[in-house]
Amino acid sequence: MNQQLVEVISNRANAGIDPHLHIWGWEIPAYLFLGGVVAGLMILLAGLELRHKEKPRSAATEWMPLVAVALLSLGMLFLFLDLANKEHVYRFYMTFRPTSPMSWGSWILLLVYPALLLMYVSGLSAERREWLLSIKPIQALRLGALVRWTMAFGDKHRSKILWVTLGAGVGLGAYTGLLLGTMVARPQWNSAIMAPLFLTSGISTGAAVMLLTRLDKRESATLVRWDIAAIAVELSLLVVLLLGLSSGNVYSQEAAASFLGGPYTASFWSLVVIAGLVVPLTLNVLEVRRHTPMTLYAPALVLIGGLALRAILVTAGQASGLH
């Protein structure tokens, strides 16, 4: 009897092939969280002005575009730290691929920075503008003429800048969800719900950041109501996500089981659903209906829940896969 020796080569231990091995560390959830916050800030800042038909009334709102720039830059740093070949980062901008969420995200980020800076400069009061022009680095570099031109340009096109900022915010918020949702090999992520879920969560966390500052009473009241709507939609989307996974194929059902009795049940329901959504929603509703004093508990819990949502989904998604 002839015997043949068969050699089998397995790549199952390769973290880039086997879906159940972790690839992304803490940097990606942190980036997704900060990107969502910035998207929410852009949408809310533009929405407040378009609704009230006037420029920022509080100093906190006036400064908020710069806060968004700082948060986004921090998120970009986290993303850069996660890149395996950091010297190739420029290649994101050498081409544009319409079918790639990452390509869309790269170019949206280029639009976000100028939109936020134009919003900030053109939203300054006369007093703040004089202060900005008096800053020593601007005088030393002789940038006064450029800053004045930017202010005049922003004043002339303020409405267009607001709409561009609003659109870029929606694009940035949805992109953070699409980045996960298009990965077919990860049943935990592969859902059309991911984009609206992350966008809505971003709006809620953006409102939370603003509510932690000293706002004008009208701005605060509007943001609390918008936050109530965002949290309610987010809860509904989570229900749809779990129902969709539970009614899918065997892999999707396994992914859903990780939240419904599996290893991520306790953290998901305690940090995301209860602490991050239900409790803040209750506090916000009480504030609106019974005029109870606003506390910092609701926005703080929303931020914790928003970060936990992304951390748990990223971790759980990497623990699931098509084996």
Q: Where are the domains of the chain?
A: 27-319
Give the CA count within 13 Å in the CB-facing half-sphere of 312: 23
Note the pLDDT of residue 323.
45
Please state, in angstroms and rounded to a whole number, the distance separating the CA atoms of residues 322 and 250. 10
Amino acid at 270: S
Amino acid at 97: R
Structure tokens at 274: 């209860």
Spell out the residues 6+ positions from residue 241 whose beta carbon is closer than 8 angstroms to its own.
191, 193, 194, 197
Predicted structure pTM score = 0.86
Are 96 and 82 in contact by the 8 Å Cβ rule? The answer is: no
Structure tokens at 164: 């561009």
Are 37 and 172 in contact by the 8 Å Cβ rule? The answer is: no
Q: Is the dihedral of CA 207, 211, 214, 219 positive or negative?
A: positive
Instruction: Write out the H or E segment, with its range, that includes residue 7.
Output: none
pLDDT tens digits for the chain (323 residues)? Answer: 555 555 555 545 545 445 444 477 888 899 999 999 999 999 999 999 999 888 888 889 999 999 999 999 999 888 888 776 666 666 665 666 666 666 766 778 888 999 999 999 999 888 889 988 888 888 887 888 898 999 999 999 999 999 999 999 999 999 888 878 777 778 788 788 999 999 999 999 999 999 999 898 899 999 999 999 999 999 999 999 999 988 888 888 888 888 998 899 999 999 999 999 999 999 999 988 887 777 889 999 999 999 999 999 988 888 765 44
CATH topology of domain 27-319: Formate dehydrogenase/DMSO reductase fold (1.20.1630)
Structure tokens at 75: 């998120």
Amino acid at 85: N
Distance from chain centroid for Cα 260: 25
Count of CB atoms within 10 A of residue 50's CB?
12
Count of CB atoms within 10 A of residue 205's CB?
31
Please state, in angstroms and rounded to a whole number, the distance separating the CA atoms of residues 48 and 68. 16
